[in-house]
Amino acid sequence: MIGSLNVPALMDSTDVFIFDCDGVIWKGDTLIPQATAALDTLRQRGKRLFFITNNSTRSREGFRSKFIELGISVAADEIFSSSFAAALYLQQNPLPAHKNKVYVVGQEGISQELELAGIPSLGGAADSDKSQVWGPGAEVDHDSSVGAVVVGMDTCINYYKIQYAQLC
């Protein structure tokens, strides 16, 4: 027993455990003490494990690499990130053929998950070095076949991306 939590009863009655990643499995690039031991115990007992994160900067494969670097073996299909959720949503709710592209304000995780889902995208990291055109009559051409904008954490956000997303 831990406090009022009956751990043996919880272990016996639960088949699937879902963990947040940052602050539960790791903090930044540091493994949380005892995380590996806890996950190993659950796996030894035949429990299914899933890992969720609202961090969109990496794809599932990118997060899998981080787990491996920290000494934890996981499968990509055990990981659910916000970038994967966005791609899955758009895959299950297709955009119209004439507006089938996605503009990304974010990092590589979103673009990679969209690509894996077969959804054409533009922007993201590719627009990190672009700059806004200022002045009277300034205009930014944009792709009229963009039907959605997906926004995630973007450490290279700039006014160009904001304007392009708004135009889309």
Task: Per-residue pLDDT tens, the chain, 168 aa: give them.
Answer: 456 778 788 888 899 999 999 999 999 999 999 999 999 999 999 999 999 999 999 999 999 999 999 999 999 999 999 999 999 999 999 999 999 999 999 999 999 999 999 999 999 999 999 887 777 777 778 999 999 999 999 999 999 999 999 999
Please provide the average confidence, as pLDDT, over all residues in the chain: 93
What whole-number distance in Å separates Cα of residue 65 and Cα of residue 128? 24
Active-site annotation holds for 22? no
The 3-state DSSP class for residue 80 equals strand
Q: Which of 12, 15, 22, 143 is catalytic?
A: 15
Q: Which amino acid is located at 17 in the chain?
A: F
